[in-house]
Structure 1
């Protein structure tokens, strides 16, 4: 049995979407970050860094944290969501791009633009500019590709959507990036994606 430890967050939604896409049975464990459950000893035994998501495969005896690693594991485990041939490396490339240039920058933008007290306009402006550059890179690629790996829908799309979904929840407007926006709409229309972003609960903006 697979066990998913998660909360309503972009990183958590990546894994719940993948599990819904793959239709794999799993048990949900809601780790309520606002209540400090991610800092409790039982959870720290699963991820000493105290972050969600965590996936436990108790049949294989494997415990994984870091959403990109979990997505790779699920793709390998199922034989799906990771294409073969050159497209495989395109998917891995864009998965790495999300981990280095999408998630960290948008996470900082959320903090400095919406949450930081006192506000730091110069820092906020920097992360706005950096995330807009990331959106522009994705937009240029998606101008000629249906999905990030090309013709094949993959874990790279799921990982990236985790953050574009939260960007929309937070009111960040990337509509000027028309190809990225069209890709986001294709993702949002998928039934498994719609289910995944409600697990364990719907995200709300700050």
Structure 2
């Protein structure tokens, strides 16, 4: 059975969606990042990058959410595009677009907008601009097709859904009005029973909600280093 190291944040939730859609048997192992559990030796042996999610599948250990999606899709033979070089090229391109663009720029936009100390105007402008640009490219792609790769729901749609859930927090309360095609895509996936089961995982476990000094130390160690502790 797959062990799934989970926290209710965008990257783990897209993996949860795949697991629920595919029917692969799995066991959830909660990792409370605001308590610093991602830095414990037992977890670092699974993911040296100290980030959720990660999976252990027999002898295989996979970390990075997009790598996990691709591993699970290939393992199960589900939610992949047709087996042609052209389709695989599009799948890899958009999956890596989420991995190298959507995720990092969304995360940095959230950090500087909501958590970073002043002065931060330049950083907020930089990362919000890039996050908006990247989401705009998703919206343009979805203006042409019902799903990211065309007519078929795939792992790339799951990768997009994980981050789209947080869009108002990332870009602001008017974000959806500017991205109607992405909103249609998001609503359609959110209505799926598997997505509702993935969302429900959050209520099965107790995670620290407070962003206190201890949580900030675990999540933003660079600030702790500047402060000398």
What is the TM-score with the length of structure 2 in the denominator?
0.83
3-state DSSP class of the match of 1:199? helix
Q: C-alpha displacement at 1:169, in angstroms?
A: 5.1
| Alignment check: 8 A CA contact 2:7 2:53 kept | yes
Structure 2 unaligned regions, length at least 5: 212-229
Query: What is the number of residues matched between the two proteins?
Result: 204
- Name 1:115's counterpart in structure 2: 115
| Alignment check: 8 A CA contact 1:3 1:26 kept | yes
Q: C-alpha displacement at 1:197, in angstroms?
A: 2.4
| 1:18-42 deviation line (CA, Å, top 9, x unaligned) | 0001011111100110111110011
Looking at structure 2, the residues matched to 168 and 78 of structure 1 have their Cα atoms a distance apart, in angstroms, of 33
Q: C-alpha displacement at 1:168, in angstroms?
A: 3.5
Looking at structure 2, the residues matched to 19 and 3 of structure 1 have their Cα atoms a distance apart, in angstroms, of 11
- Name 1:162's counterpart in structure 2: 162
What is the TM-score with the length of structure 1 in the denominator?
0.92
Q: Counterparts in 2 of 1:148-159, with a 5 A limit?
A: 148-159=148-159
| Alignment check: 8 A CA contact 1:17 1:196 kept | yes
3-state DSSP class of the match of 1:47? coil
3-state DSSP class of the match of 1:198? helix
Looking at structure 2, the residues matched to 171 and 108 of structure 1 have their Cα atoms a distance apart, in angstroms, of 11
Looking at structure 2, the residues matched to 12 and 109 of structure 1 have their Cα atoms a distance apart, in angstroms, of 19
Residue 53 (structure 1) aligned with residue 53 (structure 2): yes
3-state DSSP class of the match of 1:123? helix
Higher Cα Rg: structure 1 or 2? Answer: 2
3-state DSSP class of the match of 1:3? strand
3-state DSSP class of the match of 2:144? coil
Q: C-alpha displacement at 1:170, in angstroms?
A: 5.3
